Chain A
Amino acid sequence: KAGVTQTPRYLIKTRGQQVTLSCSPISGHRSVSWYQQTPGQGLQFLFEYFSETQRNKGNFPGRFSGRQFSNSRSEMNVSTLELGDSALYLCASTLAGGPQETQYFGPGTRLLVL
């Protein structure tokens, strides 16, 4: 089975622009979570989608949004980019979104905001 894939792998944007990141979960997985990883703040939960519904959201401003499609693929969008949004964005998928399940992570999208 193919793993979690994320596109693009690398992205350079300038302040004020917006960006859309994509995540394709493992086939059959219905839950997708997004995390931001930075040297200063570490790994922080952004949000989780299950069956096209956002079930959980972390403490991020409204500039961060996401969605999930009927095929479980997910996108996250960041509008009005700030320098502090430079980070590795990781998505993870699970079969049914249960807390006991192993989360399978993609390789991440590295975003640099100039």
Chain B
Amino acid sequence: AQSVTQLDSQVPVFEEAPVELRCNYSSSVSVYLFWYVQYPNQGLQLLLKYLSGSTLVKSINGFEAEFNKSQTSFHLRKPSVHISDTAEYFCAVTRISGGYNKLIFGAGTRLAVHP
């Protein structure tokens, strides 16, 4: 079975400050890793994903995440946040084989950016 732990339920940060949202996973089989973001009263949107290759993946809006196999982590970072980044962020995994596209989510981290 797979499980995902997001170590912080809430992260307050000032605008233009850097932020890191932590994600650890547990799985006995190989997985793909995802970060999704949920803005208030909306569904989830993909932020970025790690499938293979370079362990550092980047999104178009300045977020990046690094896959660390030895530490089974996939932390999300942004060097300078904006008010508009205020949202809930979910780390998720899915089995590479046999699980089709069933996503296992972490509990979420609520990022609150303050002016």
Contact = CB atoms under 8 A, between A and B. Distances in A.
Interface residues of B, number: 26
Nearest to A42: B107
B101 A106 contact: no
B102 interface: yes
A14 interface: no
B101 A48 contact: yes
A107 B101 contact: no
Contact of B96 (A42, A99, A105): A99
Contacts of B49: 100, 102
A99 B43 contact: no
Interface of A is mostly: strand
B15 to A, nearest CB: 27
A90 B83 CA distance: 26
B105 A108 contact: no
Given A43-B90, A43-B105, A99 B100 contact: yes
20 contacts: A31-B100, A42-B105, A42-B107, A43-B92, A43-B108, A50-B100, A56-B100, A58-B102, A90-B44, A92-B43, A92-B44, A97-B100, A99-B100, A100-B49, A100-B51, A100-B96, A102-B46, A102-B49, A103-B101, A105-B44
The 4 tightest CB contacts between A and B, nearest first, are A105-B43, A43-B105, A105-B44, A99-B94
